[in-house]
Amino acid sequence: MQNVAVMEPMMPESGRWKLEDLATELVGKANALASRVHPVVRQSVGDLVRSMNCYYSNLIEGHDTHPRDINRALAEDYSTEPKKRALQLEAHAHIEVQRMIDGGKVDLPLISADFVLWVHQEFGKRLPDELLWVENPDTKEKVRNEPGELRRSGVQVGYHVPPGANELPAFMARFEEAYRLDRLSKLQQVIAVAASHHRLLWIHPFYDGNGRVARLFSHRFLKEIGLGNSLWSASRGLARRNADYKARLMGADQDRWNDLDGRGTLSAVGLEAFCSFFLEVCIDQISFMESLLEPAELRRRMSFWAEDETRAGRLPKGAWPLLREVLNEGEVERGLAPEITGYKERQARTVLTDLMKRGLLVSDTQRGPVRLGFPIDVVERWFPQLYPGLG
């Protein structure tokens, strides 16, 4: 029986100035980004970023589902090809679980084994059966990855041997105790997002899905402490630096090297290096989204796109003034379309209807105000480099 002390240290040592500086910078940049985007526009961007987060989180696991296929899955338009359909269902599952988290529909405490199990259950129960079976690379035995259930046998992940199945409850209890928010300062909470991300993966509570669960856990953690929002995603940065991500995770798996490497069983240097990496990725992704959402630049990119589309006859004249107004104001009442477009009511209504059919404008109700939509066809022009080439 392993003692839970083999997972120590749970946090980097206090007074690590580099980490505290990164945590401070992350707080400042996250708050600044949230304040510069109209709340209603933020809602539409959130739908886009949720799909992006799903794409990159699954990509880290080697599941490359094209953004267009994710978009089709959200419209319940699934491929007839079994493998592609399975990946579409997986993407839809990820987005649905994050949508529940973002919508505040989870009553469970963040720092709890119950929440971790909930994420795994909600994700897994939406998967096709073929994605719930995993194979032991040594014995070739196949076991079912039961949604919301801790694994029932030992596993090995690379060189790392996680706790045995009968030890998982004790390790999850230590996880809960170590990251209780009421015991951490504000800066420690930011650093704990990174530290808990590694330690949850180190415990490896499930046969499969641990990476997706850990990233969704970290997503909620950032939201819980007021830094995460619908405008950015750490998963994009982790996927773009996937080799570094996995190397840093492995570095934090290592045993303590010597007397200068902390006082726990695991390497304090390795944990600190992972935390630095994770926070740097978060800062980088906020900076990236800040550049994409800078109002004047976003308006310019949208204007150039609209000009090209109008010239090609794919966008009706009068569409751009309406889109621009919605971008500036967040949402617009439908009855204002004639005034904004300069057209009579019938023609203005035709423009509005066309934009809604294309998903460029959306509404939460049949007659309610309209806000921007971001269909996949415009993403490459409006938000360059959000995804790899969308051709």
The CATH number covering residue 338 comes to: 1.10.10.10
Q: Do both 303 and 317 map to the same domain? A: yes
Question: Which residues constitute the domain of residue 112?
Answer: 38-155+164-293
Domain for residue 8, yes or no?
no
Backbone torsions φ then ψ of 152, nearest 5 degrees: -110, 5
Q: Do both 231 and 168 map to the same domain? A: yes
Q: Which of 273, 293, 313 is the last residue of a domain?
A: 293
In this prediction, residue 138 carries a pLDDT of 66
Domain for residue 15, yes or no?
no
Any residues with CB less than 8 A from the CB of 160 and at least 6 apart, and which? 202, 204, 250, 253
Q: Which of 191, 332, 159, 177 is nearest to 275 (CA)?
A: 191
Q: Do both 326 and 286 map to the same domain? A: no
In this prediction, residue 36 carries a pLDDT of 83
Backbone torsions φ then ψ of 134, nearest 5 degrees: -125, 155
Domain for residue 391, yes or no?
no
Q: Do both 245 and 337 map to the same domain? A: no
Q: Which of 293, 321, 348 is the last residue of a domain?
A: 293
Q: Do both 188 and 308 map to the same domain? A: no
Between CA 152 and CA 145 the distance in angstroms is 10
CA 151 to chain centre: 25
CATH number at residue 102: 1.10.3290.10
Q: Please tell me whether residue 330 adopts helix, strand or coil conformation.
A: coil
Q: Do both 201 and 330 map to the same domain? A: no
Domain for residue 115, yes or no?
yes
Q: Which of 368, 369, 370 is nearest to 358 (CA)?
A: 370
Between CA 198 and CA 213 the distance in angstroms is 12
Please compute Rg for the chain using Cα positions: 23
The pair of three-digit structure tokens given for residue 103, joined into one six-digit string:
């919508």
Q: What is the pTM of this model?
A: 0.94
Q: Do both 77 and 113 map to the same domain? A: yes
Q: Do both 211 and 267 map to the same domain? A: yes
Q: Do both 284 and 303 map to the same domain? A: no
Question: Kind and range of the H or E element at 361?
Answer: strand 361-362
Split into its structural domains, the chain has a count of: 2
Domain for residue 18, yes or no?
no
In this prediction, residue 390 carries a pLDDT of 64
User: Cα–Cα distances in Å, from 280 out to 3, 21, 35, 173?
Assistant: 32, 11, 21, 29
Between CA 291 and CA 295 the distance in angstroms is 9
Q: Do both 90 and 186 map to the same domain? A: yes
Q: How many CB atoms within 10 Å of residue 390?
A: 13
CB 210 within 8 A of CB 166: no
Q: Do both 57 and 112 map to the same domain? A: yes
Beta bridge partners of 370: 332
DSSP string, 169-205: HHHHHHHHHHT-GGGS-HHHHHHHHHHHHHHHHHH--
Q: Splitting the chain (391 residues) into consecutive groups of 10 residues, what average pLDDT does each group show?
A: 90 89 96 88 89 96 94 94 96 96 94 98 97 82 95 92 96 97 96 98 97 97 90 95 97 92 92 98 97 94 97 94 95 95 94 95 93 94 87 54
Q: Which of 245, 271, 293 is the last residue of a domain?
A: 293
In this prediction, residue 1 carries a pLDDT of 64
Beta bridge partners of 133: 144
Backbone torsions φ then ψ of 370, nearest 5 degrees: -105, 150
Range list of β-strands (E), the chain: 133-135, 142-144, 361-362, 371-372
Domain for residue 84, yes or no?
yes
Q: Do both 84 and 207 map to the same domain? A: yes
